[in-house]
Amino acid sequence: MRDLAHMGLWFATLPRPIEPRAALERDERVDVAIVGAGYSGLWTAYYLTALEPGIRVAIVEAEFAGFGASGRNGGWCVGSMAGLDALGADPARREGALRLQRALFDAVDEVGRVCTREGIDCHFAKGGWISVASVAAQRDRLRAEIAEWHAQGLGESDARWLEPEECAARVRTPRNQGALFFAHCAALHPARLVRGLAEAVERRGVAIFERTPALAIEPRCVVTRAARLRADRVVRATEGWSGSLRGEARRLVPMHSMMVATEPLSEGTWKEIGLERRETFSDARRIVVYGQRTADGRLAFGSRGRYLFGSAVPERFPETSRDYARVERILASFFPALRGCAIAHRWSGPVAVPRSWRPSVGVDRASGLAWAGGYVGEGVAASNLAGRTLAELILGRESERTSLPLVGPPFPRWEPEPLRWLGVQAVLRVGQWLDASELAGRRASRLGSAVFRRFVRA
């Protein structure tokens, strides 16, 4: 079994050690084959077996269920999705965007419902999300965002403005100019969710083959080193590692997100910080940061923002990496009470960014290929909706989900290197420069803001 020490808090706090399942060693035939045992693959399997008991589903996983982003994320189960704001801003697509938004809200509750039904104890707590305005520019942006959402059909019970004193009643951070409160978000333990989900699909008869990297996906066939898995439909659910499949190097860009977690904090420290309802928190900077109060009383906190040439996905970044130092600096600036507090875990993982900056699910009936993913960094709830929708598409069942704008064509390919690296670096730099200007109290460049928005379509 590989060493999991560097994989962070969630793997260190699983109730049971990870026992690897058997690998695929001889050719097999099933109705649906899935590559990747993260949330996307597992939710797809879950709903396939719910809709059609007796269907033969097999999953091949390069490492073990939950090895990917699903076992390492920030644990925000949030009713939101990359690219949604851009969809909503287009009058021709506004109605679809609102339906998608509501479906994502429902996905948050659906994750909670399934966990209760299947006995998955993932510490699900729906306390909402607080995005604090650290400076006036962030305040103006957040207020404009709330106004835009309300104009598009959301209500005060979905998202509302908290004045500084209301914000301080929930979370106490020195730079508080008020906050956005978004009701549709739960904090959870991501690895408990993905491991519990894998056990739930196995109970429904799904076969999971671990330590079985797929080399290629061919029409109606998954090719592995030892065997071929044939199926009417083959689902690609490989997210940040999609480049490991033959011919898929430019499908999704892996952007690395870095996380840290403290030891359990004292009651006194929590009194200074707040977050009594386990609200997830961030501020409104462009290079996203995200945090949660864990069920065992720690702060887990992270930030996106590293791309490696050639879409490389390293096993780990050194603990001394400047990216971790940056994350720890930002966390300390949120909560001075943490200064001097030991960081117990540091880990990272790739989020997958499509060129269109929008997730997609779909099925190509001619080749039998299906796909789900491209969530950027918002896949915990979105993958539930994606898997549920994909199961319906595969079985040819129409529902209120199968006409959502989440259903779309395969991801357009990214540019070849070095253009890809140059483009992604440029956008990251612009984002960091805009954030730094705003946090220093200067006005961010309008042109820079427009360029950033255009590229990330957020």
Ligand X SMILES: Cc1cc2nc3c(=O)[nH]c(=O)nc-3n(C[C@H](O)[C@H](O)[C@H](O)COP(=O)(O)OP(=O)(O)OC[C@H]3O[C@@H](n4cnc5c(N)ncnc54)[C@H](O)[C@@H]3O)c2cc1C
Binding positions for ligand X, rule: CB under 6 A: 35-41, 60-63, 67-70, 72-76, 78, 213-214, 237-241, 244-245, 257, 259, 290, 302, 349-351, 373, 375, 377-380, 383
The nearer residue to ligand X, 229 or 337, going by C-beta atoms, is 229
CB of 134 to ligand X, least distance (A): 19
Least distance (Å) from ligand X to the CB of residue 62?
4
Point out the residue whose Cβ comes nearest to ligand X.
379
Q: Of 63 and 202, which has the nearer Cβ to ligand X? A: 63
Which two three-digit tokens encode residue 106?
A: 């429902």
Strand partners, 419: none
Taking the least distance from each CB to ligand X, the nearer of 158 and 239 is: 239
In the complex, least distance from residue 229 CB atom to ligand X, rounded to whole angstroms: 11
Shortest spacing between CB 448 and ligand X, in angstroms:
26
CB of 6 to ligand X, least distance (A): 13
What's the rounded Cα separation, in Å, for the pair 79 and 376? Answer: 14
Q: Are 51 and 396 in contact (CB under 8 A)?
A: no
CA distance 159 to 181: 6
Between residues 135 and 279, which has the closer beta carbon with respect to ligand X? Answer: 279
- Report the nearest approach of ligand X to the CB of residue 96 (Å): 21
Residue 8 carries which DSSP code?
A: -
Nearer to ligand X, 63 or 118 (CB): 63
Instruction: Give the other-Cβ count within 10 Å of 203's Cβ.
Output: 9
Residue with tokens 């929008």, as numbered in its chain: 358
Q: In whole angstroms, how close is the CB of 447 to ligand X at the nearest point?
A: 30
Whole-angstrom Cα distance, residue 118 to residue 110?
12
Minimum CB separation of residue 256 from ligand X in Å reads 7
Residue 62 or 406: the one with the smaller Cβ distance to ligand X is 62
With b for 16 or more beta-carbon neighbours within 10 A and e for fewer, the 390-419 pattern comes to bbbbbbeeeeebbebbbbbeebeebeeeee
**Is the Cβ of residue 35 or residue 390 nearer to ligand X in the bound state?**
35
CA distances from 447 to 120, 202, 431, 442, 444 (A): 47, 52, 12, 15, 9
Question: Contact 301/338 with Cβ under 8 angstroms?
Answer: no
d(CA 168, CA 170): 5
Angle CA(370)–CA(373)–CA(378) in degrees, nearest 5? 160
Residue with Cβ nearer ligand X (82 or 444): 82
How are beta strands 299-306 and 253-262 bridged, if at all? antiparallel
